[in-house]
C-alpha cells in the first residue's frame, strides 16, 4: 500500500448550526485514484470543501504530504499543489476559455505539450478557445473545469462529480483523461455518483454515510461485494452499468 498523500483524522465540520461532518477519517494513497462515494447528503462535497479550506474544520486534522493543512487559507492550500473542481464547475462565464486557463496556469505560459494533450481529450475547448465560457454547453463547461485543474501539474486533484449530466461519449473521454493523469503525476480524490465510472477508475474507495466514513478499502473488493454496496449505497453497482 503506497503512503498516504492526504489523510483526514476526526474531521468535523459545521455549517452554521448544522453539524455536517462527524469525525471523517480516511487516507488517499499517493499515485492512485480514490473514489469518495455515498448517498446524497452523506457529506462528500463538504469533505472536499473542508480539505480545500473553503469550510473550516471545527475539529480534527487534515494532513497533506505529512504537513498539517487544517488551518491554512484556501490559496495556501492550492499553492501546495492541490486543485479543486467543484460540483458547480465554477467556470468564469464572462472570461473566455483561454482566459479561464490562463488564470489556472499560475506559473506562467502554457506548456504546449500539456495543452495539446488537453485538447486531444477535450477537443471542444480548442474549438471555443476565444469564446466566453458562459456560452459553453454543460458538458463543455465540465471539460473546462477539469482542464483548469490539470493545465499545470498538481499533486492532488479534488474533483466533485465530474460526470454529472454528461453524455456517455464525454464520460468515456474523461475516464481516459483521468486514467492518464493517475498513471502520470497526479493523485486523485473523486466524488462520484456514477458507479460505472467509479469502478472503471477507482483504485481505492471511501464510502461516507451520515457525515462519517463507513467503509474504506480497495475498489476491486468493494465492487465485488454487492451486499456491502447494498448496505452502504442502497444499490448494487451492477444496477448502474
Partner 1 sequence: MKRDLLPWLLVPLVIVAALPLVGSAASWVTLTVAGLAMGLMVFIMASGLTLTFGLMDVLNFGHGAFIAVGAFVAASVMLAMGSWMSADSLALNLAAIVPAILAAMVVSGVLGFAFERVIVRPVYGQHLKQILVTTGGLIVAEQLIKVVWGPEQITLTRPEALRGAFLLGDIAIEKYRVLAVVVGLVVFAALALTLNRTRIGLLIRAGVENGEMVESLGYRIRRLFVGVFVVGSALAGLGGAMWGLYQETVTAGIGGQVIVLVFIVIIIGGLGSVGGCFVGALLVGLTQNYIGFLEPKVALGSNILLMALVLMWRPQGLYPVARR
Q: Name the segment binding partner 1 (CB under 8 A); options: 9-17, 69-77, 215-223, 228-236.
A: 69-77
Is 153 an interacting residue with respect to partner 1 (CB under 8 A)? Answer: no
Q: Return the C-alpha cell found at 50.
A: 473542508
- Which residue, 2, 36, 6, is CA-closest to 212? 36
Is 126 an interacting residue with respect to partner 1 (CB under 8 A)? Answer: no
Cα–Cα dist 16/2, whole Å: 37
- Segment 180-219, which members bind partner 1 (CB under 8 A)? none
Contact 30, 218 (CB under 8 A): no
Q: Return the C-alpha cell found at 174.
A: 474523461
Is 235 an interacting residue with respect to partner 1 (CB under 8 A)? Answer: no
Is 95 an interacting residue with respect to partner 1 (CB under 8 A)? Answer: yes
Is 178 an interacting residue with respect to partner 1 (CB under 8 A)? Answer: no
Q: Residue 77, SS3?
A: helix
H helix or E strand, kind and range, residue 113: helix 112-121
Is 103 an interacting residue with respect to partner 1 (CB under 8 A)? Answer: yes
Shortest distance, CB of residue 78 to partner 1, whole angstroms?
4
Choose between 73 and 235: whose C-beta lies nearer to partner 1: 73
Is 74 an interacting residue with respect to partner 1 (CB under 8 A)? Answer: yes
In whole angstroms, how far apart are CA 52 and each of 56, 110, 180?
9, 24, 24
Q: Say how many C-beta atoms besides its own lie within 10 A of residue 234's C-beta.
A: 9
Shortest distance, CB of residue 37 to partner 1, whole angstroms?
23
Strands annotated E in 163-231? 187-191, 204-209, 212-218
Binding residue for partner 1 (CB under 8 A) from 10, 29, 31, 132?
A: 132
Size (the chain), residues: 241
Shortest distance, CB of residue 73 to partner 1, whole angstroms?
7
Is 72 an interacting residue with respect to partner 1 (CB under 8 A)? Answer: no
Is 60 an interacting residue with respect to partner 1 (CB under 8 A)? Answer: no
Cα–Cα dist 146/203, whole Å: 20
Contact letters (x/-) for partner 1, 8-47, by CB under 8 A? ----------------------------------------
Q: Name the segment binding partner 1 (CB under 8 A); options: 16-24, 93-101, 109-117, 170-178.
A: 93-101
Amino acid at each position: 500500500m503506497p503512503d498516504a498523500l492526504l489523510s483526514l483524522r476526526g474531521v468535523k465540520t459545521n455549517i452554521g448550526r448544522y453539524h455536517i461532518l462527524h469525525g471523517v477519517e480516511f487516507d488517499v494513497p499517493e499515485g492512485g485514484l480514490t473514489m469518495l462515494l455515498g448517498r446524497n447528503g452523506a457529506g462528500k462535497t463538504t469533505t472536499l470543501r473542508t480539505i480545500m479550506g473553503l469550510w473550516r474544520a471545527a475539529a480534527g486534522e487534515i494532513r497533506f504530504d505529512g504537513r498539517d493543512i487544517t488551518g491554512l487559507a484556501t490559496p495556501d492550500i492550492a499553492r501546495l499543489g492541490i486543485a479543486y473542481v467543484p460540483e458547480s464547475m465554477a467556470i468564469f462565464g464572462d472570461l473566455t476559455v483561454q482566459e479561464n486557463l490562463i488564470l489556472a496556469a499560475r506559473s506562467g505560459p502554457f506548456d504546449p505539450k500539456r495543452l495539446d494533450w488537453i485538447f486531444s481529450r477535450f477537443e471542444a475547448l480548442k474549438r471555443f478557445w476565444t469564446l466566453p465560457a458562459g456560452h459553453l454547453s454543460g458538458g463543455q463547461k465540465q471539460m473546462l473545469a477539469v482542464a483548469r485543474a490539470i493545465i499545470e501539474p498538481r499533486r492532488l486533484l479534488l474533483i466533485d462529480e465530474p460526470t454529472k449530466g454528461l453524455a456517455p461519449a464525454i464520460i468515456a473521454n474523461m475516464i481516459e483523461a483521468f486514467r492518464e493523469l493517475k498513471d502520470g503525476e497526479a493523485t486523485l480524490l473523486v466524488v462520484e455518483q456514477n458507479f460505472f465510472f467509479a469502478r472503471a477508475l477507482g483504485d481505492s474507495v471511501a464510502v461516507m454515510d451520515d457525515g462519517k466514513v463507513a467503509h474504506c478499502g480497495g475498489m476491486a473488493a468493494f465492487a465485488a461485494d454487492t451486499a456491502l454496496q447494498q448496505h452502504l449505497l442502497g444499490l448494487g453497482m451492477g444496477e448502474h452499468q
